[in-house]
Structures are given as structure tokens and as C-alpha cells.
Structure 1
Amino acid sequence: MSRGLLAAGIAGFTGAGLIATLWATEPGSLPTRTAAAFAGLIFVGLAWAVLAAWTSWKRPLFADDRVIAGRLAVVFTTVTTLVTGIVAGPLAAGPGLLMIAAAVVVLVRARAYRDRLRSQVAALERQRGQ
């Protein structure tokens, strides 16, 4: 497992725990949008923690963990940017567009790396079969 994914998993779990604690200790009920934001942030943090845990126990082959992490990054940054654009206006979503571009680059590179590994395995299996 990569150090980056481990860091994302620890940060996600910690963030989800802190937000859940903050939510649980609020004296009154939160406004609907705040509760939805808290729930979304808890979900995102737990998703990263689950991916890191799965990677450490399962040891996925062919860089599947990188592709999954790239997909999570694209989905979460896109949703966050859309919500930001709706709530705060299109100018506030500008930095999110840069983050989406970075997440797409990560996903494309992860897929290319996975495909390269799969082709190398296929070539080795053909050699072994001859």
C-alpha cells in the first residue's frame, strides 16, 4: 500500500470521527444543509478509510487500488464542486475545477499503469505457455 493512500485513509477516518463527534455534541438540531454537509463529509472520510483498509488487507493486484482511488477523487471533487457552485456561485467553484482536472489526471495515469501491468502479465503468461 502506498504511503499516500495510507495517509488518506488515516485522515479520512480521523476527519469522519471528528465531524461525527462534533455533530453528536451539538446542543440543538442542525440546519438541514449543515446536517447534509456533515453527513457527506463523514461519508467521504469513511470511503477513504475503507479503501485504505481494503488495500492493506487484500493487497489488490494490478494497481486496482490506484484506479479506485482515482475514481473516488474524481467523484468527490466533482460533487463538491457542483455543490459549491450551486450554493456559493460559479466563481467559488473555480478552484474545484482545478481539483477535478488534477483528479482526472490521477485517474488516467492510474489506468495507464494498471493496463501496462496487465499487458506485462499477459506477455509473461504467453512466454510461459510456449
Structure 2
Amino acid sequence: MTDEPRLSAQEMIERLAPTLSRATRIRAVTALLAGVAGVVFVGTLWWSEPGPLPGRTHVAFGLFTVICLAWAAYGGWLLTRKVALFATDRVVAAWIGLVASLATTAAVVFVAAQRGAGVGLPLGAGLLIVAVASALVVRSHARRAALLRRLRELTGRDER
């Protein structure tokens, strides 16, 4: 017998598996680059607009900048993870998508109402996108719960 400490099943899995799969790394880099590119694009557009802008335009530019920053932060966070995430990354991404779709829908409907245009089409399209984002949130939570149940079955531990 050796004097080495025994490893749990989870510790063995973590040592054998890469920290992130290739697909997860690609998703992380894509989110990071798209978020940074969005911040640069929106920030440049916002900064270069001539003359004083209406308050709602500043709010819209700020909203889009925050959404892009959230995606960039998500990509950076995901790239720095060194442990198994058990689908936490998908839960976070789904919530970012839901919040972004709700905020964008509200902004578009508000602008349409202010201009006197019909709000039916923007509201309908926005609600469709919000419904898809909501379904992704539910699906990501269900997948994470299934993975955690499986982990408990295999190791007797709970990773939260």
C-alpha cells in the first residue's frame, strides 16, 4: 500500500477530463469576442453620434452596451473555469438571453409607442423571442438538475 491519499470518484473524473470541452471553449471564445465586438461597435456608434441625443437614445445605447458586456463577462468567466460546471454555464447563458430579450422587447415597444406606430408587431415578435428564451431557461435548469442527480448517484455528493 502507498501513503497517497485516496481520491474520490469526482476527483478522478476531474483529473482525467479536460477542464473545458472543445465545444465549450468555442462557445466561451465566441461569447467573449461577440460581447467585446458589440461593446466596441455600440460604444463607437454612441460616441460618434452628432449633436445632442434624446434621453431614450442614451438609454438604448446603454442597454445594448450592458447586454454586450454581460456576454463578454460570461465568455471570460467560462474560459477561467477549472472545475466541472454541471451545466451552470448553460443556466447563466439562458438567463442572460432572457433578460436581454425582455429588455430589448420593452425598449422596442416603448419606442414604437412613443412614435405612434403600432405596438402589435414589435410586441408579438418580442414575446416570441421571450418565449424561446424562457424555454431555454427551463431546459437549462432541468439539464443541470439531471446532472446533479446523476452526480449524487455516482458519488454520494452534492455539487452546488
Bin the TM-score by the shorter chain.
Answer: 0.7 to 0.9
Stretches of structure 1 lacking an aligned partner (at least 5 in a row): none
Q: 1:28 deviation in Å?
A: 2.5
Instruction: Tell me which structure has the larger Cα radius of gyration.
Output: 2
Q: Secondary structure at the match of 1:47?
A: helix
Q: In structure 2, what is the equivalent of residue 123 of structure 1?
A: 153
- Counterpart of 2:128 (choices 82, 98, 108) is 98
Q: Distance in 2 between matches of 1:96 and 1:6?
A: 27
Q: Is the 8 A contact 2:28 2:76 kept in 1?
A: no
2:62 counterpart of 1:44: no
Stretches of structure 2 lacking an aligned partner (at least 5 in a row): 1-23, 113-118
- Over the aligned positions, Cα root-mean-square deviation in angstroms equals 1.9
Q: In structure 2, what is the equivalent of residue 80 of structure 1?
A: 104
Deviates more, 1:40-49 or 1:26-35: 26-35
Q: Is the 8 A contact 2:101 2:130 kept in 1?
A: yes
Residue identity in the other structure for 1:103 = A
Q: Answer 1 or 2: which has greater helix percent.
A: 1
The 3 A distance-change label for structure 1 pair 6 and 96 is farther
TM-score of the two chains, using structure 2 as the length reference? 0.71
TM-score of the two chains, using structure 1 as the length reference? 0.86
Q: Distance in 1 between matches of 2:139 and 2:91?
A: 9
The alignment of Structure 1 onto Structure 2 pairs a total of residues equal to 127
Q: In structure 2, what is the equivalent of residue 70 of structure 1?
A: 94
Q: 1:2 deviation in Å?
A: 5.4
